[in-house]
Amino acid sequence: MRQLEPIDRRFLWLISGLTVFGLLILLSASGPLGLSHFGDTWFYFKQQLTKGIIPGIFLFYIMSRIDYRNLRPLAVLALITSIVLLILVYIPGVGLRFGGAGRWVNLGLISFQPSEFVKVTFLVYVAAWLAARHQTKARTINEGLVPFLAALGVVMVLLILQPNTGSMAVITGSALLVYFIAGAPLAWFVTLGLGGLGLIAFLIKVTPYRAARFMTFLHPELDPQGIGYHINQAFLAVGSGGLFGLGYGHSRQKYMYLPEVAGDSIFAVMAEELGFFLVLVFLAALAVLINRCLYIARNATDDFGRFLATGIGCWIAIQAVLNISSMIGLLPMTGVTLPFVSYGSSSMISLAIGLGIIASISRQARI
């Protein structure tokens, strides 16, 4: 039995540091919410640890020891799995709806958010599909563009109907970037990007809640006690942090003022407590991790590994940018989690699986 090469150590240390940091931020941000809802300030911390991080570590270990090339023959199964997972949310008695959105699935013993796992399964399909076509076929319309758009279109429609625009943006963006790296002409990439922006503009126009969010993005001061309450409280939290922060554990906005303090809004609490300079350190560490993912991708021994590691790195980058930008008013509210930090077992486990795949690629890479 051939001995496995070691995982890239810098990659492993970055993951470990960001995971511990995120858990500490969650402990502080979610304390008042846990006490109010469950009588336990440690509730969200313990849930994240037992249902997200510990299973995530196990799955990361498993995926890191499986030769990633064994995933390539499962590409079609990965696409079917992506579609089936997204269809589950529409099945009565299985799909769960919260706040008007059907994004969760309840299978009795477990409940999860399918779109989080589609971020992995769809990238496996895209990477294998592109690797099989090489650069020449990826540039053709019949063998490249049309099949790519057909598969991506099915996933996009299922996400739009949930509705889950944030996850759609992450999945679509990472898939498009992989397609571009695989050899798609720049003109196609730009055209598809503009088409995506046009689709988002159309969705804003035809759906009232998206239109309200967009108007709040343009004019957050118009309804500070109504639809604009969330973003205004986020601005207050980020602004209160200043350069050096109020100190760990000293956020004021987490005391039932800022909505979703443990989830989508956790960056605002982080900024309030740690301040600009320490947040900058976190962002730098995240950027170094993403760069390490791309470095491993560049040194992969085959196209499948290169495309897959690139896609996972782009997924982390896009999701972080969407989350943080929405908290500081650069983009409308998207509802996506902040990698490593936000509460959510589905997002933590899917992230661990994706990083485990990159760890497997690093064992084979020419580093």
- pLDDT at position 64 is 94
Q: How much of the chain exceeds pLDDT 90, in percent?
A: 54
User: What would the mean pLDDT of 308-335 be, rounded to a whole number?
Assistant: 92
pLDDT at 274: 96
pLDDT digits (tens, 9 = 90+) for 273-292: 999 999 999 999 999 999 99
**Whole-prediction pTM:** 0.91
Q: What is the mean pLDDT of the chain?
A: 88
When pLDDT is averaged across residues 67-95 and rounded to a whole number, the result is 88
- What are the tens digits of pLDDT across the range 331-357? 887 778 999 999 999 999 999 999 999
Span 66-75, pLDDT tens digits: 999 999 999 8
pLDDT digits (tens, 9 = 90+) for 203-231: 777 776 666 666 676 666 666 666 778 88
Window from 61-65, 198-202, 225-229, 306-310 with minimum mean pLDDT: 225-229
Position 48: which residue type? Q
The stretch 154-169 carries a mean pLDDT of: 87
Residue 1, pLDDT above cutoff 50: no
Hey, which of 98-102, 157-161, 289-293 has the most confident mean pLDDT?
289-293
Q: What is the pLDDT of residue 97?
A: 67
* pLDDT tens per residue across span 126-157: 999 999 877 666 677 777 788 888 899 899 88
pLDDT at 258 over 80: yes
Which band of pLDDT confidence, cut at 50, 70 and 90, is reported for residue 367? low
